Amino acid sequence: MRNSRIEVLPVAGAVGAEIAGVHLAEPPDDGTIAEIRAALNAHGVIFFRDQELDVEAHKALARRFGEIFIHPNFKGSGADPEIVVIRREPGDSSVVGEEWHADTTMCAAPPMGAILYGVEVPPYGGDTLFASQGAAYDALSDGMKRMLEGLRAVHSDRKVAGPQAALNAKRATKVREDAEWRETISLHPVIRTHPETGRKMLFVNHSYTVGFEGMTEAESRRLLDFLLAHGHRPEFTCRFRWSTGAIAFWDNRAVKHIALNDTGPHRRIMRRVQIAGEAPF
């Protein structure tokens, strides 16, 4: 679709669109930002190619959509707390985001989105997949929708940070594993309403959701497993093949994503800025 300023090219039926006709390093005008926001609302994740974003331009772009979110578990891992460098070195057996997830949902107000920039892209592999949680909700039966309405899920960061997660030995990107680290837990609705579009979204994910309010984790398991698998059925997904200078900008309220660790002997370096969000409702 050609808008007045940008071109929006959907890449799959449920989620994802490539945006052409914009150079993000030159500060986009307000009209262009409004069109980018509309494309994000319509497609859940948008992709740009051949951008040249240094750190300052990257952060400036993020600020056009909200305040920068400081990740509590990567804090101190680099010189600039507003930036997370996601580094995969040859030999790493684990990478950041290798399970289907939305970002940082143990927080009471998880980020609304993230802008990920391809700094060093491997010759093959390292794709990122996205799944529409609006499409996942729509495909549930009326009975299941009724059952989930009003149910809240427990989100914890215990699987992705802290000494018990023991991830730092397996990968180049380090999280907090010090003895002072404490688990963060929040309750969020299983079905959330998107604050800009009003669309209902399934809101549980493998990395953070550990059960349902008022139930044991064992009691929660079967329903949670069903919802987690349902949320990334192939028809809800798209897959992004990275190139150097490419950008994926996802709406963390509307999609789940997963990073593949299949780059063999090759390095992969990405730079991420997250944008602050609101408490889900």
Distance of closest approach, residue 205 Cβ to ligand SIN, in angstroms: 11
- Check 101, 171, 192, 194 and give the catalytic one: 101
Neighbours of 153 (CB within 10 A): 26
Whether 272 is catalytic: yes
Q: In angstroms, rounded to a whole number, what is the distance separating the alpha carbons of residues 40 and 98?
A: 23
Query: 24 is written with which tokens?
Result: 């993000």
Distance of closest approach, residue 116 Cβ to ligand SIN, in angstroms: 6
Q: In angstroms, rounded to a whole number, what is the distance separating the alpha carbons of residues 275 and 67?
A: 6
Residue least distant from ligand SIN (Cβ): 97
SS3 of residue 38 by DSSP = helix
Q: What's the angle, vertex CA 112, arms to CA 267 and CA 172, rounded to 5?
A: 20
Neighbours of 253 (CB within 10 A): 25
Q: In angstroms, rounded to a whole number, what is the distance separating the alpha carbons of residues 229 and 277?
A: 25
Closest to ligand SIN by CB, 176 or 200: 176
Whether 257 is catalytic: yes
Distance of closest approach, residue 201 Cβ to ligand SIN, in angstroms: 18
Distance of closest approach, residue 179 Cβ to ligand SIN, in angstroms: 26
Answer yes or no: are the C-beta atoms of 198 and 163 closer than 8 Å. Answer: no
Closest to ligand SIN by CB, 3 or 168: 168
Closest to ligand SIN by CB, 28 or 113: 113
Q: What's the angle, vertex CA 94, arms to CA 90 and CA 100, rounded to 5?
A: 130
DSSP class of residue 4 equals: S
Closest to ligand SIN by CB, 67 or 98: 98
Query: 192 is written with which tokens?
Result: 């959330």
Answer yes or no: are the C-beta atoms of 238 and 15 closer than 8 Å. Answer: yes
Q: In angstroms, rounded to a whole number, what is the distance separating the alpha carbons of residues 224 and 219?
A: 9
Residue from 258, 260, 259, 255 nearest 131 by CA: 255
Distance of closest approach, residue 248 Cβ to ligand SIN, in angstroms: 7
Binding site for ligand SIN (CB under 6 A): 86, 96-97, 103, 114, 116, 128, 257, 259, 270, 272
Whether 176 is catalytic: no
Closest to ligand SIN by CB, 39 or 45: 45
Tracing tokens 């139930």 back to the chain, one arrives at: 215
- Check 58, 194, 199, 257 and give the catalytic one: 257
What backbone phi and psi angles, to 5 degrees, belong to 132? -75, 120
Distance of closest approach, residue 149 Cβ to ligand SIN, in angstroms: 29
Closest to ligand SIN by CB, 148 or 275: 275
Task: Give the catalytic positions in this structure.
Answer: 101, 103, 257, 272
